[in-house]
Amino acid sequence: MSASKRFKGYLSAARQWFFRTPERALDQAYDAALMIKAIEDEHFDGQPIAPRVKSHGDNVDAYFQAELRKCLSTARVRLAEFRASRLFINLSENAPTSMGRTGAVPPPEGWFAERSRDRPAIILEKLQFIDGVLDRYSSAKIMTVETRAAGKDDPASRSLVPVSTSIQLGADQSVSSYGVAPTQRDSASGQGDRNGGVSSKTSFLPRSILRTINRLRRELNPQAEAEVVQSFRSSKAKTIISFRFVLLIVLVPLLTQQIAKNFFVGPLVDQLRPPEEQVLFLNPQMEAEALEELKSYEESLRFSSLIAGLTKAPKLTDIQIEESLEEKAIEIAESFRTRSSSAIKNVFADLLSIASFVVVVMSSQREIAIVKSFMDDIVYGLSDSAKAFIIILFTDIFVGFHSPHGWEVILEGLSRHLGLPESHEFIFLFIATFPVILDTIFKYWIFRYLNRISPSAVATYRNMNE
């Protein structure tokens, strides 16, 4: 066989392999879904693969979880490959290539047309089967351990971090419908247990006796161990999600601001405004600051020249002083030109940073509800003295006697960051109004909500604040 024929054969094989990419990727995803379905039917009675109470050992569960992760990863990657290749290749137009092979038996007449007609239905059937299998392992539909052990299929308990429709916090408070199911509140805060037992109802028996009865009932429950394990897993998942979201809303705006300023906004501003066209001072206050710095340097030079005789050092002449002043003026000018340009870049970079923060918040409503529930659990878990300490700490920082100095530093730093003049009138007006508004909000919150949720914490706060 000549080299040209071999090259044509390789080219034909590569062409066939390329055009069969969608079908090959779909078949591999379908095989992975079939593998998951086979494990479910054989070892889990048709239920999703998950650790089950008193069903398998730890090693067996670990093996099934590893197989599940491998099959899910294969199915998702191959589905992505299928979707991407479909943008360039029409699967329904890929005719079989067995006719082109030497010695191949030709199929019956009309076989190609019949297979072309059946292929869309086969593709749709495979995709529906794959979606059905993968949908059972989405984060919102993972069965809880206690529901599996009881043989139930409650749609409301299919998440590792259970989502409740409303989480009652007080007489008229509730978390949004995407909140995480709360853990048990501390008894000192006057809250009933999370399952809404008899202790949350009005009764002629003391609440302490009812809570003790509820505790004994839960401990004697055959599913108590499964409930404790599921409660721990739910709390762990909620903690991880909360910390990850807090880091996300902090790091994403900061990284967006730095990346945009250094790689997008900065070069664009430098290109549109060459260094020779850039203004030295964005406001008169910057010019006065530069002049003050130059005067201070000149006074330092003249003072050094006057005391040169005492140290037996050569005195500076007027020409040397003028040359030093000229060099210092050029250095100060370059410094303020860079500062002015940086302030302009900060404005646009900060706008992009705020936009990224808004996008993260708008696309993470469920995570926000989980964070709110996580913070509620932390607050309710604190003692009354700890609650009072945190309230006093925050009120003293933001609305206390020394808070105006902190607000002044913050506003002056923000003005320099954006290249705005430091208006002392605006700063004094802000300090005279905003902390007062915050103080009013704090007092209203303590009177309206905290007094209902934890009266003992309010009493402790008043005693500590006196």
> How high is the pLDDT of residue 47?
82
**Residues 422-462: tens digit of each pLDDT:** 888 888 899 889 888 988 998 888 888 888 878 888 888 88
Average pLDDT over residues 387-410: 86
In this structure, what is the dihedral angle of CA atoms 156, 160, 165, 170, given to the nearest 10 degrees?
130
> How high is the pLDDT of residue 59?
73
Res 351 pLDDT > 80: yes
**Of all residues in the chain, what percent carry a pLDDT higher than 70?**
73
How does residue 205 score in pLDDT terms, banded at 50, 70 and 90?
low
Average pLDDT over residues 84-97: 59
User: How far, in Å, are 60, 150, 435 from residue 406 at the CA level?
Assistant: 59, 57, 11
Res 175 pLDDT > 60: no
Average pLDDT over residues 127-142: 76
Q: Own/partner pairs for 273-279, CB < 8 Å, 24+ apart?
A: 273/341, 275/337, 278/337, 278/340, 278/341, 279/337, 279/340
What pairs with residue 180 in β-bridges?
Answer: 163
> How high is the pLDDT of residue 104?
40
Domain boundaries, the chain: 3-137, 382-465
**Residues 224-258: tens digit of each pLDDT:** 777 778 888 888 888 999 999 999 999 999 999 99
**Separation of alpha carbons 420 and 443, rounded Å:** 34
Average pLDDT over residues 173-186: 38
> Pairing between strand 167-168 and 174-175?
antiparallel
Average pLDDT over residues 286-310: 85
> How high is the pLDDT of residue 88?
67
**For residue 122, how many other CB atoms are within 10 A of its CB?**
13
User: First CA to last CA across the chain, in angstroms?
Assistant: 101
373 within 8 A of 245, measured Cβ to Cβ: no
Which of residues 209 and 177 earns the better pLDDT score? 209
Determine which of 172-186, 333-347, 433-447 has the lowest per-residue pLDDT on average. 172-186
CA nearest 50: which of 39, 61, 42?
Answer: 61
Tell the residue number behind the tokens 């500076």, with chain if given: 316
Question: Average pLDDT of the chain?
Answer: 75
446 within 8 A of 427, measured Cβ to Cβ: no
Amino acid letter, residue 196: G
SS (H, E, C) the chain: CCHHHHHHHHHHHHHHHHHCHHHHHHHHHHHHHHHHHHHHHHHCCCCCCCCCCCCCCHHHHHHHHHHHHHHHHHHHHHHHHHHHHHCCCCHHHCCCCHHHCCCCCCCCCCHHHHHHHHHHHHHHHHHHHHHHHHHCCCCCCCCCHHHHHHCCCCHHHCCCCCECCCEECCCCCEECCCCECCCCCCHHHCCCCCCCCHHHCCCCCCHHHHHHHHHHHHHHCCCHHHHHHHHHHHHHHHHHHHHHHHHHHHHHHHHHHHHHHHHHHHHHHHHHCCHHHCCCCCCHHHHHHHHHHHHHHHHHHHHHHHCCCCCCCCCCCHHHHHHHHHHHHHHHHHHHHHHHHHHHHHHHHHHHHHHHHHHHHHCCHHHHHHHHHHHHHHHHHCCHHHHHHHHHHHHHHHHCCCHHHHHHHHHHHHHHHHCCCCCHHHHHHHHHHHHHHHHHHHHHHHHHHHHHHCHHHHHHHHHHHC
**Of all residues in the chain, what percent carry a pLDDT higher than 90?**
10
Average pLDDT over residues 43-66: 73
Res 99 pLDDT > 80: no
